[in-house]
A and B are shown apart, each in its own frame.
Chain A
C-alpha cells in the first residue's frame, strides 16, 4: 500500500491514472459490476412477477445440466434427468464449431487469393470483403429470408431452369431449418475469418515459396509444409472472432430458424423477455461465458493469438 501511495506522488503516474480513469469507470461500471450482478442473480430465485430473491441456491445450474428435482421428466418421476437444456447447449456448441470450420473452408481460398494478388489490387479486394460487413447485421439476415423461402429467389431460379428442361420441381423447404441457420451464421461472420487469415498469409515472404520449389516440393507439399503452418495464427485468431459471437447470437436462429432451432442465445433472450426468469437466464449466460472462455483460453495457450486479433 505504501509503495502504491509512493507511486501516486510521482507526477508521471498520476497523469497516467488521470488519463485512464474514465476508461476504468466504464469498464468497471458497465462490464465488471454487471458481470458480478449476473453471477449473483444466477444463484437467486425468481419471484412470481419476474423479480429476484437473492439466495445462494445452485438450482438454476442443476436445472441447466438436466437434474430435475421437482418436475417429472416425461413419465419418470423426479429426481430425474431432463436433457432439454443440455441439448440446447450442445447444439449451440456444435453449430459454432460447424460455422467456424465452414468459414475456414470457404474463406481460406479467398484470403489466399487476396494475399497473393498484385499489391495494387489487394486494397480493392479487401474493400469488397468489407462492404457486406458494414451493411447492417439484421438486414443481412433479412436478405437470406428472401433467398431461402419456399417461393424465394433460389427456388425461383432452380424451378425456372428445370422448367426450361421440362423437369418437374417441388420447391425445397429451406427456411426454418438448421441448415438455414448455419448458412446465415457463415454469411454473417465470414469476413471475420477472412481478414486475420489474410493478415497471416500476406506476411509470408514469396522467397519461401521459391525456396520450397527449388528444393523440389510440389504445390501440394509447399502448401502443407509452408503455407498452412505459417497461416495458422490467422486461422486461430479468426476462429476466436467467429466462434465467440456465434455461440451467443440469437437473431440468426430466431429469424432463419423460426423456433425450430433453439440455441443458448435464444434461451437467454427468452428467459429475460417472455419467461421472466432472470435468475435462470443469468445462469445460462454464465454457462455460455464459461464455455466460450474455455475455448478462448485453450486456443490462446496453445497457439498465442493477441497480435493477430489486434491487427484484424
Chain B
C-alpha cells in the first residue's frame, strides 16, 4: 500500500503543479514579446543593442524602477537586521526565563498571525497620522519640515510583522538545545557574554539564519502594510507594479517579474545549499 502509487494520484498532483507553474512560465515568456501592448505574443523582440533582452535593458534604464528596487532592498535589509536581533532576544527570553508579563508577551506575538494584514496596515496608518498631526501642530512645523510617512515608517512597520516569525523559528531551534553545554562553558570559567557568543549563538545560528531569511522574504513580498505606510519617495517594487497594473502594461513589467523570480530562485538555491551543508 505505502509504496504503490495510484496513477490517478500522480496525474492529479502533476496537474496541480501545472496550475502552480503555468502563470510563472507565461510571465517569463512574455518578457521577450515584441508587442508593446503585450496582449498577444507576436514573436521574440529583437530591437536595439540588447536584442531579445530589449525589455530588460529598458527596465535597467528606468529610474523609477531602480529607485523602487533600492527602496525595497533598503527596507528589507534594515528591517531584517532589526527584527532578527529583537526576535532572537525574545526567543531567548521566552524559552529560558521566567518573568512578569510572560504570557502577555506570548499572546501579543500571535496578534499579527491571526489578524488580517489590512487591519494592521490601517491601524499603523491611523497611529502615524495621529502622531504626526499632533507633533506638527505642537511643534508648529510647516512646509517641508512637516513629519509625514516615509521610508522609515515602512521599516518600523516591517519590523513589527517580522518579529513574531523570527521568534517562532528561533524558539523551535532553542527547544531542542542541550543546556548542559552552556553550563559546561560556565563551569570552565566563561562569563555569560563569552558563553553567549562562543556557545549559544553558534548553536542556534541555523535557526537565527532561517528566521532572518523568513523576515527578509516577508519584507520583500509585503504589499498591504507597505501600501498603507509608505510616503512620497518610498515606493517599493510591489507598490510600483501595482500602480502599473492599473495603467498600461508593457513587457517591461514581465521583465521585472522575470528578474525578480530569477533572484528569488538564486537566493533559495544558495540557502538550500547552506542548509544542507550545516546539517
Please report A residues at the B interface, Cβ cutoff 8 Å: 4, 7-8, 12-20, 22-24, 26-28, 30-35, 37-38, 41, 106-107, 109-110, 112-114, 116, 127-132, 134-147, 149, 151-153, 156, 187, 190, 206, 209-210, 213, 219, 222, 240, 244-245, 247-251, 255, 265, 268-269, 272, 278, 281-282, 285-286, 288-289, 292-293, 296, 309-310
A288 with B116, Cβ < 8 A, contacts A38-B122, A132-B20, A152-B39 known: yes
Distance in angstroms from A305 CB to nearest chain B CB is 10
Q: Which residues of B contact A245 (CB under 8 A)?
A: 116-117
For the complex, give the distance between the alpha carbons of A116 and B223 in Å.
35
A226 to B257 alpha-carbon distance, docked (Å): 43
Bound together, the chains give a CA A18 to CA B30 distance in angstroms of: 53
- Give Cα A7–Cα B101 distance, bound, in whole angstroms: 11
Interface size bracket, B side: 35 or more
Known A210-B2, A248-B119, A281-B122; contact A296-B114, beta-carbon cutoff 8 A: yes
Known: A13-B97, A151-B39, A310-B168. A146 touches B26 (CB 8 A): yes
CA distance A281 to B125 in the complex (A): 12
The residue from B24, B117, B122 contacting A272, defined by CB atoms under 8 A apart: B122
Distance between B60 CB and nearest chain A CB, rounded to angstroms = 18
Docked Cα-Cα span, A128 to B19, in Å, equals: 12
B202 on the A face (CB < 8 A): no
- Which of A113, A140, A255, A285 is in CB contact (< 8 Å) with B9? A113
Bound CA–CA A14/B167 (angstroms): 19
> Which of A12, A16, A38 has the largest number of chain B CB atoms within 10 A?
A16
Q: Are A210 and B1 in contact (CB under 8 A)?
A: yes
B residues within 8 A CB of A206? 2
Q: Is the CB of B126 within 8 A of A135?
A: no
Q: When chains A and B are docked, how far (Å) is the Cα of A151 from the Cα of B26? A: 14
Residues of chain B contacted by A107 (CB below 8 angstroms):
16
Known contacts being A142-B27, A288-B119, A310-B172, is A22 close to B89, with CB within 8 Å? yes
Q: Is the CB of A38 within 8 A of B123?
A: yes
- Are B26 and A143 closer than 8 Å at their CB atoms? yes
Is B157 at the interface (CB under 8 A from chain A)?
yes
Q: Which residues of A contact B199 (CB under 8 A)?
A: none
5 further contact pairs, Cβ within 8 A, besides A136-B260, A244-B116: A15-B97, A27-B109, A27-B163, A31-B112, A137-B221
* CA of A24 to CA of B265, assembled, Å: 35
Q: What residues of B have a CB within 8 angstroms of the CB of A244 in the complex?
A: 114-116
Q: Is the CB of B123 within 8 A of A16?
A: no
Report which of B12, B96, B223 forms a contact with A137, defined as CB distance below 8 A. Answer: B223
- The answer to whether B113 and A109 touch across the interface, beta carbons within 8 angstroms, is no
Stretch at the interface among B136-144, B182-190, B204-212, B238-246: B238-246
B241 to chain A: closest residue by CB? A138
Q: Given A130, A141, A147, A278, which contacts B126 in the complex, CB threshold below 8 Å?
A: A278
- Evaluate whether A110 and B86 lie within 8 angstroms (CB atoms) in the complex, with A30-B160, A34-B120, A209-B1 already known: no
Whether the Cβ atoms of A34 and B126 lie closer than 8 Å is: yes
B13 touches A109 (CB 8 A): yes
Q: Kindly report which residue of chain A lies nearest to residue B40, judged by CB atoms.
A: A151
Decide if A147 touches B23 in the complex (CB within 8 Å). Answer: yes
Within 8 A of A (CB), among B244-264: 245-246, 249, 253, 256-257, 260-261, 264
Chain A residues with CB under 8 A of B16? 106-107, 109-110, 190
For the complex, give the distance between the alpha carbons of A247 and B117 in Å: 10
CB-nearest residue of chain A to B129: A278
Q: Closest Cβ of chain A: how far from B186's Cβ, in Å?
A: 14
List 25 A-B pairs, Cβ < 8 Å: A12-B98, A13-B98, A15-B97, A17-B101, A19-B93, A23-B109, A24-B105, A31-B123, A32-B111, A35-B123, A37-B127, A37-B130, A38-B119, A109-B16, A135-B257, A136-B238, A143-B26, A153-B26, A187-B19, A244-B115, A251-B242, A272-B125, A288-B116, A293-B114, A309-B113
